Amino acid sequence: MNWLLAIAGLALITWSSAVLWCSWASRRWPVAPGELVTRSIRDGRNRSGPYYMPAVSYRYAIGHRRFVGSRRRFHALPDAFVTEQAAYEALAGLTPGARVDVHYHPYLPRLAVLRPGLAVDALVPLMFGLFFVLAAQ
């Protein structure tokens, strides 16, 4: 069973490292003008109670290619809030029909984000991954 723990740990390390890299690199990606199409709050319930998740969709073009994106920011953990008000605050400044700056990967323009920057929450699964790998020794 130690090999299973090591594989799970390596998977977490790989995935969270990719999220960290993309979030960090997105600060220097090119910017294209876009338009916010929708913004909404998705609600749900788990064992802890209700939660609210902000969601957006936007469109942008790079040259003659058109894209639709939905990534507001890079994150590793669910972008969920305990109150609906907090979820709406996360969407502050994002109004349908408004012009938005879309930061896109220079070689994979389909990979885009509205709010670039480091996803600190990706450190949590990274630490779990390291723990799993070390525990498998």
Q: Quote the percentage of the chain above a pLDDT of 70.
A: 99
Predicted TM-score (pTM) of this structure: 0.86
Q: Are strands 49-62 and 112-113 parallel, antiparallel or unpaired?
A: unpaired
DSSP character at residue 14: H
| 52 and 106 share one domain | yes
| 10 and 59 share one domain | no
Residue linked to tokens 């939660």: 51
| 4 and 20 share one domain | yes
Mean pLDDT score, 10-21:
91
| 42 and 21 share one domain | no
Show the tokens assigned to 78. Answer: 């669910």
| Domain total of the chain | 2
Domain that holds residue 124: 1-28+116-137
**Cα–Cα distance, 120 to 86 (Å, whole number):** 19
What is the tens place of the pLDDT at every residue in 47-106? Answer: 989 999 999 999 999 999 999 999 999 987 778 899 999 999 999 999 999 999 999 999
| 38 and 17 share one domain | no
Helix/strand/coil for 79: coil
Closest CA to 56 of 86, 94, 19, 26: 94
